[in-house]
Amino acid sequence: METIFALSSGSPPAGIAVVRVSGSNAALSLEQLAGRLPQPRRASRATLRSEAGELLDDGLVLWFPGPHTATGEDLAEFHLHGGRAVVTAVENALSGLPGLRRAEPGEFTRRAFANGRIDLAEAEGLADLLSAETELQRQAAIGMAGGLLSRRVEGWRDRVLGLSAQLEAVLDFEDEGDVGLLPATFGNAILMLADEISEGLSVPSAEILREGYRVALAGPPNAGKSTLFNALIESEAAITTPIAGTTRDVLVRPVALGGVPFSFVDMAGLRDASLDPVETIGIERAQIEIERADLVLWLGPEGEGPDDCWEIDAQCDREAHEAKSLPRYSVSAVTGENIGALKQGLIAQALAAMPKPGETALNRRQRLLLQEAVDALGPAAVEDDPLLRAELLRQCRLAFDRLIGRSSTEDVLDTLFGRFCIGK
């Protein structure tokens, strides 16, 4: 396998730049540029030179012999002065060495997965950790990257293996008379495991944490949606005018409130008919956003909003304003009245829908595979035919194997590792 290299720290200029090399020729890169192979796992100062003897930098080098490294391969690191010219010069020198090439996005982590240093669920957690922007996202991702879900799935898998072993013993030796029938509690043990996994499926989704709690502002034209939208995100992102139908397309802005990730959605005003075909398209898209939202703030006539919406009495500062009788909040985006209370209410609502610190959050792929396991265990608990029962338990194990990456398709791996940056 080719040896890869990439800048693994932030984009220059920076105080320090770290260039990482992974593969069988990692030692060669140190010998060629630093003139020697330093002691393993100890930072050592070195004068770096190109193959032609040109001075590249005066920095630190580290040598990590495999397989006990981040990637499971021989690994080298060059800690450089973080200027663009320095990084470019070192990368050019590395690219001129035999068997070395620049890494693709996520290739270091993909090699760690391929070499058994991490499993697929841990890699997904690492991807989320790298993209985390709030404390909640960081806490959930670091647990996943540390193997929180993987250990739980491995425990479930071990229990299924134990059940399968009992069943296989009966199938293999039933004619020899030295292995008894399955215990009376066998079916109950399967049901208990299925219930435990089903309980695990009740945790919040990772998507709501990654993408933010989605709040859509809905109502008729000129209800004050865009003004309130700007107040919530604290930016003049939406155009506001007294002209009905100003907002025609969907506008989404991610923002963190109190450390909680949100996605606020402004949209076209809802009305039965419009002579403007562009506005009509905007209204159709608004209806889609209402269905997609985790919560709808309804600024229209009281009682006409979608189910489970929050009735918002907007524009309460206007003299001719007709107040709602039972609003969740009465606010004015112009004066700021009760905007703070609305934000606190949204934070509390979002926190209730998101994973608690130390709690596992499941993405769609993980959730589907755990559901496959439950769907196999249910029939296995009551099936009389031992061969069919054994097959159902095998299907359950296969779902676990796909979740943690013992068996997985290339398209799943390509999608996941494509989320990583070049140096990771």
Q: Say whether 410 sits in a helix, a strand or coil.
A: helix
Residue 66 labeled ligand binder: no
Residue 145 labeled ligand binder: no
Residue 356 labeled ligand binder: no
CB atoms inside a 10 Å sphere around CB 302: 14
Residue 164 labeled ligand binder: no
- Rounded CA-CA distance 139/128 in Å is 10
Residue 319 DSSP label: T
Structure tokens at 26: 């990692």
Residue 391 labeled ligand binder: no
Residue 77 labeled ligand binder: yes
Q: Please work out, in degrees rounded to the nearest 5, the angle formed at the alpha carbon of residue 407 by the alpha carbons of 406 and 413.
A: 100
Residue 20 labeled ligand binder: yes
Residue 424 labeled ligand binder: yes
Residue 224 labeled ligand binder: yes
Q: Please work out, in degrees rounded to the nearest 5, the angle formed at the alpha carbon of residue 34 by the alpha carbons of 14 and 62.
A: 65
Residue 205 labeled ligand binder: no
Q: Please work out, in degrees rounded to the nearest 5, the angle formed at the alpha carbon of residue 47 by the alpha carbons of 44 and 49.
A: 130
Residue 225 labeled ligand binder: yes
Q: Say whether 385 sits in a helix, a strand or coil.
A: coil
What is the strand order of the sheet 251-257 is part of?
A: 251-257, 260-266, 213-218, 295-298, 310-313, 329-330
Residue 242 labeled ligand binder: yes
**CA atoms in the 13 A half-sphere facing the CB of 16:** 9
- Residue linked to tokens 């070499």: 115
Residue 134 labeled ligand binder: no
The binding site for K(+) consists of 222, 241, 243, 246
The binding site for Mg(2+) consists of 226, 247
The binding site consists of 20, 77, 117, 222-227, 241-247, 424
The binding site for (6S)-5-formyl-5,6,7,8-tetrahydrofolate consists of 20, 77, 117, 424
The binding site for GTP consists of 222-227, 241-247
